[in-house]
């Protein structure tokens, strides 16, 4: 949990009155201080933002949280990250607590899009704006929904994989998928983009396994099942990156590490080495750090009374050994959040 | 062709429609209403069951979601349930989320808005609250966790839209069915009625309307259609046949009645009506031809006696014989009629002089007086003829007949068996006679007739032995009217029967009064016409009279004239015997004037002979009367009968009679007939009678 103390924030008021007041305060700040860039630095009385994430143990949400903290702090907000621990009750309790605290805004990476609808509903009832960061929401009453272009990213990594298969003349082989829950909108979009790429290349999908508990054992088991049940299996696509090691272990244990290619969606720090080494053919890398920043900006703009684009799709970086070097800085900041210092 | 007048009235067709259509409508509507209410109950029941099932299903589906805090999921399920099952609304109290939010429950749900859309329930919206208040029904069910603890409460608000829609559909269908069924049934009924009933009926009406001049259908009714209509047609045909036969019979009866109305049933002669018509027709002809016309009114003399003595059959035979005789003596153009009884009328036309009439009258008299042979009996009869002439005695049929009738009575009064031409005096007598008859009838009714009592005396002892009651008429205007005037009239008109009973009743009352007062009037003698003795019930009549008046049989002596008794002796003997057996004495009056058979005399239950005054009148100087009187006294003596003489007016007569054995004497010598008061005085003074005798 990160608690940031930012500069004195501008009081987020709605409408023209708020704008006028904000302008007056800025002018006063400029007159009293020669450092207008730090004028927003403040502590007590700053507007508060709560970020509720489904599970901070997952690196993706952690990186996203850092992006939120960096941007919120920069804008003078107090920000707090709360971990729902992938539990709906906890998630609800956190939202209820935020409502009771009468925070100024909530950014949520919900456990699922359905739960997000309830969270948005409860917040809306309390007149607290909500920005959804990734996952999605079965509601349109959010201020903004910041997401990755899952379909485009999946399509791109699918294209990298099909090229790799063609290079190896394995286009007759089939591809297995270990998917995140397809109930999630991002899961559905990823599958669709990837399948489009396979279809365009004339490569068949062999089978799909859907993750439930996201454990190492689960991914390992699914990988082995695909290997054993699909004789002509030539590639496996992991729709999530966190259990890539389980897949590698299964390939190694089955002796298929040279016969079956592995691609992922999302990225881990180790990928900076595994992709150049050819262990992984490639990965479609979301930019969670950037997503966090965009979420704060959307909430901020809303509180400032500005128009906000309700749905913002951030590009997904399709990284292979061929382009990893050129995108390394971008990967480190926006994907892995390694070079950001609050 | 006569047309039947038809009264304006509704047709059978419309009548059937008016009866059947409401009946069918009510029946089908009742069925539809019953179906409607049955369906409503069923739908209500189904809705309740469906609501219960929905609650149960929701409870099962939602319980896990509440436990999993899958709020959006169960909200979608609720919204789907509202949308799919057309419910009014479903609310859920989520205790778990309520706990999180610091409230008893988190209320959520969906409801159907009036426009049909499903909306998330917002408790803060009054419209939503009101919408739920207007739902048809509501039910709740707790939601239990897997451990059985309550985690929520689900409320199902049932909409009546489905119910209304179904009921509307039922009403629509029922109305449509009712309309179709009614229409079909009415059309079928009317078509069938027209073809099966109305057409045959129309044929019958057409047949009935085609009638002859008497309004009787010419043709028979067509025999077709259903059983009832055919039966009706057959009945009408039977009726038509009967009417035709009845018309034939009626015509025959009419002809017979017409004949009877103008003819005498016994003789076949024209009756008074026809005779009058013919006479009326003949008068103008005679006037035109300037000829004389004569009307002869013939009445048979003493024909009544024949009827009474020999019976009506014999009388009828006599009338037929007379008819034949009259027919034979008349010319072909003359008219003979029998107006009634023993009367005949004759019209003689084309007469030139009165001598022809006189000749005809004489011929008739001769023809009738010839002896009549009826079976083994030879009868003699005569007639009296009255004659009127046109134009001398009248110019109308009624006038001529009346004048002839008057002349006939004149002929009767002048000894019968003769003819008499009408003159003005005759008319006056006839009028008087008619007037007297009417006055006698009213006099009997008004009590103008009363008995006078003439004493009967034992000449030897001078004692009163009784009174003979004699009818006397005290007319309120004319004073006392002679018995010689009204007794014959009473006999001729038949009033004598009533007269006898009136007199005997009053006399009995008077005698009973005297006896009651201790007086001794002796025996009451009364004259009775023989008519009484020709009826068995007369004995009963007498007994009733005595009972009514307090009279005793031994006080009574009935006098019956010899001549009357002998006209029908056998019947009279039986009645007299019965009377005699009751203790009543019987005297034979006017004995010696008739033709009494001694054998009958012996058989008659008489106790006394009464010597007629015609024999006493000239005693003792007339030898014949003296001989007859002595013979009668001797006869009575020899038969053991009492003897009384009437009409004794002188002491010589009394002495003669007494000398020859007749002690009982009645006559003016002792007293004229006396009214009751004078008779009573006579009774009280009867001691003086001996001195006078």
A92, A121, A138 ranked by CB distance to B100: nearest: A92
> Before B391, cis peptide (omega within 30)?
yes
B687 pLDDT exceeds 70?
A: no
Q: Is residue A81 part of a domain?
A: yes
Same domain for B414 and B271? yes
Do A240 and A270 belong to one domain? yes
pLDDT at B202: 83
| Residue A163: alpha-carbon gap to chain centroid | 26
Coil, helix or strand at residue B419: strand
Helix axes A185-201, A150-167, angle to 10 degrees: 30
- Are B409 and B279 part of one and the same domain? yes
Looking at the structure, tell me whether residues B535 and B627 fall in a common domain: yes
If asked whether residues B120 and B216 sit together in one domain, one would say no
The predicted pLDDT at position A39 comes to 31
Q: Determine the straight-line distance between the first and last CA of chain A, rounded to whole angstroms.
A: 14
CB contact under 8 A, A114 and B69: no
Per the structure, how many domains does chain A have?
Answer: 2
Across B355-378, average pLDDT: 89
Contact B100 A96 (CB under 8 A): yes
Neighbours of A119 (CB within 10 A): 30
Residue B300 and residue B342 in contact, taking contact as beta carbons nearer than 8 Å: yes
Per-residue tokens: B71: 């709020």
Round to whole Å and give the CA distance between B65 and A236.
Answer: 34
Which of A256, A268, A272, A265 lies closest to A321, judged by CA?
A272
Dist CA B267 CA B317 (whole Å): 9
Q: Whole domain around residue A46: which residue ranges?
A: 3-142+288-313
Which residues of chain B make contact with A138, given a CB cutoff of 8 A?
A: 72
Task: State which residue of chain B sits closest to A93, comparing Cα positions.
Answer: B100
- B267 CB-near residues (< 8 Å, 6+ apart): B319, B320, B323, B338
Residue A329 lies in a domain: no
* B426 has a pLDDT exceeding 70: no
pLDDT of B38 above 80: yes
- pLDDT at position A296, please? 97
Give me the mean pLDDT over the B406-420 stretch: 83
What average pLDDT does range B28-55 have in this prediction? 82
Question: Is the previous residue joined to B125 through a cis bond, with omega within 30 degrees of 0?
Answer: no
Model confidence at B593: pLDDT above 70 = no
- Is pLDDT of B467 > 90? yes
Nearest CA in chain B to A96: B101
Q: What's residue B579's pLDDT? A: 87
* Alpha helices in B447-518, H assignment, sequence order: 483-493, 496-516
pLDDT digits (tens, 9 = 90+) for B213-238: 878 888 888 887 788 888 888 888 88
- Residues B188, B119 contacting (CB under 8 angstroms): no
Residues A279 and A203 grouped into a single domain: yes
Residues of A in contact with B71 (CB under 8 A): 92, 115, 117-118, 121
Q: What is the pLDDT of residue B1?
A: 42
| Confidence category of residue A257, pLDDT binned at 50, 70, 90 | very high
Same-domain pairing of A81 and A16 = yes
Residue B3 forms part of a structural domain: no
Q: Which residues contact A263 (CB under 8 A, 6 or more apart)?
A: A157, A160, A161, A235, A236, A237, A238, A280, A281, A282, A283, A284
> CB-CB: which of B70, B73, B100 is closest to A93?
B100
| Min Cα separation B75/chain A (Å) | 9
Indicate whether A114 and A214 sit together in one domain.
no
Residue span of the structural domain in which B215 resides: 211-256
Give me the pLDDT at residue B281, please. 93
Give pLDDT, residue B340. 86
The alpha carbon of residue B27 and the mean position of all alpha carbons in its chain are separated, in whole angstroms, by: 52
Angle at A69 between CA A64 and CA A72, to 5 degrees: 120
**What confidence category does residue B252 fall into, taking pLDDT thresholds of 50, 70 and 90?**
confident
* The pLDDT of residue B319 is above 70: yes
Closest-CA residue of B relative to A92 is B100
In a domain, A327, yes or no: no
What is the per-residue pLDDT for A339? Answer: 63
Residue B140's CATH number: 3.30.450
Distance CA B421, CA B254 (A): 39
Measured in angstroms, the CA of A274 and the nearest CA of chain B are apart by 39
CA distance linking residue B165 with residue B416, whole number of Å:
120
Asked if A115's CB is within 8 angstroms of B100's CB, the reply is no
The predicted model gives A255-283 an average pLDDT of 95
**pLDDT surpassing 70 at residue A44:** no
Is residue A176 located within the same domain as residue A211? yes
Same-domain check for residues B250 and B336: no
Instruction: Quote the pLDDT of residue B427.
Output: 65
* Contact between A284 and A318 (Cβ < 8 Å): yes
Which residues, 6 or more positions from A305, have their beta carbon under 8 angstroms from its beta carbon? A13, A14, A15, A16, A18, A19
Predicted confidence band of residue B387 (pLDDT cuts 50, 70, 90): very high
Q: Are strands B608-611 and B585-591 parallel, antiparallel or unpaired?
A: parallel
Question: B673-686 burial, b for 16+ CB within 10 Å, e for fewer?
Answer: bbebeebbebbeeb
Between A85-99, B7-21, B355-369, B637-651, the lowest mean confidence (pLDDT) is in B7-21
Q: Are residues A155 and A57 in the same domain?
A: no
Judgement on whether residues B26 and B54 belong to the same structural domain of the protein: yes
Q: Identify whether residues A116 and A198 lie together within a single domain.
A: no
B244/B270 same-domain check: no
Q: Is the pLDDT of residue B378 over 90?
A: no
Is A334 inside any structural domain? no
Where are any strands of DSSP class E within chain A? 3-4, 48-53, 78-83, 105-109, 130-133, 144-148, 174-179, 204-210, 233-238, 261-265, 282-285, 311-314, 317-320
Residue A89 is part of a domain; what is its CATH number?
3.40.50.2300
Residues of A with CB under 8 A from a CB of B: 88-89, 91-93, 96, 99-100, 114-118, 121-122, 138-139
Q: Give the percent of chain B with pLDDT over 90.
A: 32
Interchain contact, B71 vs A92, CB within 8 Å: yes
- Across the beta sheet with A311-314, the strand order is A3-4, A78-83, A48-53, A105-109, A130-133, A144-148, A311-314
E-assigned strands of B101-136?
Answer: 106-112, 118-120
The confidence score (pLDDT) of residue B686 equals 61
Collapsing DSSP to helix, strand or coil, B442 comes out as helix
pLDDT of residue B249: 86
Whether residue B424 is predicted with pLDDT greater than 80 in this model: the reply is: no
Query: For residues B674 and B644, is the Cβ–Cβ distance under 8 A?
Result: no
User: B69: Cβ–Cβ under 8 A, 6 or more apart, which residues?
Assistant: A88, A89, A91, A92, A115, B96, B97
| CA B676 – CA B503 distance, rounded (Å) | 12
pLDDT at residue B251 in the model: 84
Task: Flag the least confident range among A127-141, B45-59, B73-87, B421-435.
Answer: B421-435
Q: Say whether pLDDT at A43 is over 70.
A: no
| Minimum mean pLDDT range among B16-25, B116-125, B359-368 | B16-25
User: Is the domain of B230 the same as that of B272?
Assistant: no
Give residue B567's pLDDT. Answer: 63
Residue B445 neighbours by CB distance under 10 Å: 10
**What tokens appear for B490 in the block?**
């009473």
If asked whether residues B230 and B320 sit together in one domain, one would say no
Same domain, yes or no, for A129 and A114? yes
Residues A133 and A189 in one domain: no
**pLDDT at residue B592 in the model:** 67
Task: Verify whether the Cβ–Cβ distance A115 to B97 is below 8 Å.
Answer: no
> How confident is the model over A252-263, as a mean pLDDT?
96
The pLDDT mean for chain B works out to 85
Confidence of residue B349 (pLDDT cuts 50, 70, 90): very high
In the predicted model, is pLDDT for residue A23 greater than 60?
no
CA distance to partner chain B, nearest, from residue A316 (Å):
30
B75 vs A contacts (CB less than 8 Å): 118
Evaluate whether A181 touches A209 at the Cβ level (below 8 Å): no
pLDDT top residue among A261 and A57: A261
Does the interface ipTM go beyond 0.85? no
Task: Write down the residue that tokens 């209403």 correspond to.
Answer: B33
Q: Are B480 and B473 in contact (CB under 8 A)?
A: yes
**Tokens, residue B240:** 């038509």
Q: What is the pLDDT of residues B502-530, one digit of tens each?
A: 999 999 999 999 999 999 999 999 988 77
Is the pLDDT at B469 greater than 90? The verdict is yes
The domain boundary, picked from A285, A302, A323, lies at: A285
Q: What is the mean pLDDT of residues B565-585?
A: 80
Mean pLDDT of A224-246: 94
Residue A338 lies in a domain: no
CB A265 within 8 A of CB A154: yes
- Which whole number is the average pLDDT over A213-232? 95
Residue B293 shares a structural domain with residue B226? no
For residue A43, give how far its alpha carbon lies from the nearest alpha carbon of chain B (Å). 29
For residues A199 and A128, membership in a common domain is answered with no
Rounded average pLDDT over A150-172: 95
Kindly report, residue by residue over A95-146, the tens digit of the pLDDT: 999 999 999 999 999 988 889 999 999 999 999 999 999 888 888 899 999 9
What does the mean pLDDT of chain A come to? 86
Query: What are the tens digits of pLDDT across the range B137-188?
Result: 888 999 999 899 999 999 998 877 777 777 788 788 878 887 888 788 878 8
């Amino acid at each position: 949990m990160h608690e940031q103390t930012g500069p004195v924030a501008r009081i987020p008021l709605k409408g023209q009155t708020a704008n006028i007041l904000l302008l007056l305060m800025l002018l006063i700040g400029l007159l009293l201080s020669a450092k207008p860039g730090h004028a927003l630095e403040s502590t007590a009385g700053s507007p508060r933002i709560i970020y509720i994430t489904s599970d901070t143990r997952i690196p993706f949400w952690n990186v996203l949280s850092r992006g939120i903290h960096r941007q919120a702090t920069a804008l003078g907000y107090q920000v707090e990250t709360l971990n729902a621990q992938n539990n709906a009750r906890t998630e609800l309790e956190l939202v209820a607590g935020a409502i009771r605290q009468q925070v100024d805004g909530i950014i949520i990476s919900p456990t699922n899009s359905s739960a997000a609808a309830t969270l948005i509903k409860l917040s809306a009832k309390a007149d607290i704006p909500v920005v959804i960061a990734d996952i999605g929401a079965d509601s349109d009453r959010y201020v903004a929904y910041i997401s990755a272009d899952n379909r485009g990213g999946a399509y791109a990594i699918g294209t990298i994989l099909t090229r790799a298969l063609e290079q190896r003349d394995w286009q007759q082989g089939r591809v297995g998928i270990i998917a995140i829950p397809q109930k999630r909108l991002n899961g559905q979009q990823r599958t669709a983009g990837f399948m489009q790429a396979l279809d365009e290349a004339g490569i068949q999908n062999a089978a799909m396994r859907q993750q439930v508990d996201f454990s190492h054992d689960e991914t390992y088991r699914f990988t082995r099942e695909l290997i054993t049940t699909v004789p002509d299996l030539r590639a496996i696509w992991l729709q999530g990156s966190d259990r890539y090691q389980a897949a590698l272990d299964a390939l190694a244990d089955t002796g298929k590490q040279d016969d079956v290619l592995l691609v992922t969606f999302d990225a881990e720090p180790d990928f900076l080495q595994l992709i150049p080494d050819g262990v992984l053919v490639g990965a479609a890398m979301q930019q969670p750090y950037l997503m966090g920043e965009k979420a704060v900006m959307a909430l901020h703009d809303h509180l400032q009374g500005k128009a906000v684009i309700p749905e913002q799709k951030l590009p997904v970086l399709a990284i292979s050994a061929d382009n990893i070097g050129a995108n390394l800085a971008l990967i480190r900041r926006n994907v892995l959040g390694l070079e950001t210092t609050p | 062709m006569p047309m039947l007048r038809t009264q304006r009235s509704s047709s059978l067709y419309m009548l059937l429609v008016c009866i059947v259509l409401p009946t069918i409508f009510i029946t089908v509507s009742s069925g539809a209403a019953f179906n409607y209410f049955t369906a409503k109950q069923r739908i209500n029941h189904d809705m309740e069951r469906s609501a219960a099932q929905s609650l149960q299903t929701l409870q099962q589906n939602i319980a896990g979601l509440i436990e999993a805090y899958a709020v959006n999921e169960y909200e979608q399920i609720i919204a789907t349930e509202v949308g799919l099952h057309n419910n009014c609304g479903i609310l859920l109290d989520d205790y778990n989320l309520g706990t999180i939010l610091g409230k008893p429950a988190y209320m959520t749900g969906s409801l159907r808005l009036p426009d049909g859309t499903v909306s998330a329930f917002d408790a803060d919206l009054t419209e939503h609250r009101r919408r739920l208040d207007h739902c048809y029904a509501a039910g709740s069910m707790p939601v239990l966790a897997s451990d059985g603890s309550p985690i929520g409460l689900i409320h199902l608000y049932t909409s009546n839209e489905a119910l209304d829609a179904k009921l509307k559909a039922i009403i629509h269908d029922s109305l449509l069915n009712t309309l179709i069924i009614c229409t079909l049934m009415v059309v079928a009924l009317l078509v069938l009625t027209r073809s099966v009933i109305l057409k045959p009926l129309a044929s019958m009406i057409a047949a009935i309307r085609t009638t002859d001049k008497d309004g009787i259908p010419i043709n028979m009714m067509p025999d077709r259609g259903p059983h009832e209509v055919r039966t009706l047609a057959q009945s009408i045909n039977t009726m038509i046949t009967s009417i035709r036969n009845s018309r034939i019979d009626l015509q025959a009866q009419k002809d017979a009645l017409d004949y009877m109305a103008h003819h005498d049933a016994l003789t076949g002669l024209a009756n008074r009506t026809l005779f009058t018509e013919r006479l009326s027709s003949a008068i103008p002809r005679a006037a035109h031809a300037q000829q004389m016309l004569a009307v002869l009114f013939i009445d048979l003399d003493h024909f009544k006696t024949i009827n009474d003595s020999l019976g009506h059959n014999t009388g009828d035979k006599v009338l037929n014989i007379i008819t034949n005789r009259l027919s034979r003596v008349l010319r072909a153009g003359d008219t003979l009629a029998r107006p009634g009884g023993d009367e005949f009328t004759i019209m003689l036309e084309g007469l030139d002089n009165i001598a022809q009439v006189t000749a005809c009258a004489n011929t008739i008299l001769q023809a009738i007086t010839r002896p009549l042979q009826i079976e083994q009996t030879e009868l003699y009869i005569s007639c009296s003829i009255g004659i009127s002439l046109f134009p001398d005695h009248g110019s109308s049929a009624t006038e001529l007949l009346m004048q002839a009738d008057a002349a006939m009575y004149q002929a009767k009064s002048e000894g019968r068996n003769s003819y008499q031409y009408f003159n003005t005096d005759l008319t006056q007598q006839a009028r008087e006679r008619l007037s007297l008859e009417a006055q006698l009838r009213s006099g009997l009714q008004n009590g103008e007739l009363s008995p006078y009592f003439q004493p009967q005396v034992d000449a030897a002892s001078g004692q009163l032995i009784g009174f003979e009651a004699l009818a006397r008429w005290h007319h309120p205007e004319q004073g006392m009217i002679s018995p010689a005037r009204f007794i014959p009239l009473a006999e001729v008109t038949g009033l004598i029967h009533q007269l006898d009973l009136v007199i005997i009743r009053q006399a009995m009352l008077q005698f009973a009064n005297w006896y009651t007062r201790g007086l001794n009037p002796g025996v009451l003698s009364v004259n009775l016409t023989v008519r009484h003795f020709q009826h068995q019930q007369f004995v009963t009549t007498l007994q009733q009279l005595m009972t009514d008046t307090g009279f005793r049989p031994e006080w009574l002596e009935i006098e019956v004239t010899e001549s009357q008794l002998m006209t029908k002796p056998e019947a009279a003997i039986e009645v007299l015997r019965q009377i005699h057996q009751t203790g009543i004495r019987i005297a034979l009056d006017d004995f010696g004037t008739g033709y009494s058979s001694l054998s009958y005399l012996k058989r008659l239950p008489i106790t006394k002979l009464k010597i007629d005054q015609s024999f006493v009148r000239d005693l003792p100087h007339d030898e014949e009367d003296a001989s007859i009187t002595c013979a009668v006294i001797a006869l009575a003596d020899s038969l053991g009968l009492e003897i009384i003489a009437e009409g004794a007016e002188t002491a010589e007569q009394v002495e003669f009679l007494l000398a020859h054995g007749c002690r009982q004497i009645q006559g003016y010598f002792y007293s004229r007939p006396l009214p009751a008061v004078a008779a009573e005085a006579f009774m009280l003074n009867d001691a003086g009678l001996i001195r006078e005798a």
